[in-house]
Amino acid sequence: MNAYRLDGDGDREALARYLWNLELCEAFYPSFHVLEVALRNSLDRAITQRTGSNRWFEPNHAVLDPSEQREVDLVVLNLRRRGRGRDPHPGQVVAALNFGFWTSLFKRSYEHGQRLWPTLLVTALPGMPRRQRTRAAAAGRFDEMRRTRNRVFHHEPIWNRDPSRLRLDLLEAIEWVSPNARKLVDGIDRSGQFVEFELERAMALLDGIDGGV
């Protein structure tokens, strides 16, 4: 519980802050899910359009760096095993690649020779304001989202990482990828209810519990 304890806190205060963190993680989950799916689909569409192939991730297209190509090859191998040797459909491969793979496509190396960037910025990130529209800005934001997403999905502490700013950054990232996805999230997002810590409310949750947790 030390990760949830401030100087002078007792066990109840730390536990209350832990409960708040659980609420935060739960509230952020849908928005991170939407971001992950929207970014994956947007990048897949943009690269497919650029290469003229929905199998752009195969080595003959020379799109990927060796590290990302190894990730794809491993995914394809696993899908073949499950499919008893059959080649997986491109959509299966795309869906099986994790969020870290997609955020890694914003690395500086993908700017060399305009392999992906800046050529695809408008296509892949149609909602990103023109004044901000650089590969470096996108890379920084999506890497931050990746690290925070991992903390959220594993219920690690995020209460001490400025949840209000995190919420705004997350919603803006979704807007960059898909303004329509942002409208969808606005209709289901509950994180705004939990970004400000209400110690008394969290403590009240513990009042009816005898003997600790």
Domain ranges of the chain: 9-207
The pTM of the full predicted model, rounded to 2 decimals, is: 0.90
Q: Are 212 and 42 in contact (CB under 8 A)?
A: no
Residue 208 has pLDDT above 70, yes or no: no
Q: How confident is the model at residue 10 (pLDDT cuts 50, 70, 90)?
A: confident
Instruction: Please tell me the least confidently modeled range out of 145-149, 163-167, 191-195.
Output: 191-195
Model pLDDT, residue 31:
97
Residue 210 pLDDT greater than 60, yes or no:
no
| pLDDT tens string 130-144 | 999 999 999 999 999
Residue 211 in this model has a pLDDT that exceeds 60: no
**pLDDT on residue 36:** 98
The answer to whether the beta carbons of residues 5 and 14 sit under 8 Å apart is: yes
Q: Which residues of 24-57 are buried (b: 16+ CB within 10 A; e: fewer)?
A: bbebbeebbebbbebbbbbbbebbbebeeebebb
Q: What's the confidence (pLDDT) of residue 213?
A: 56
Would you place residue 209 in the very low, low, confident or very high pLDDT band (cuts 50, 70, 90)?
low
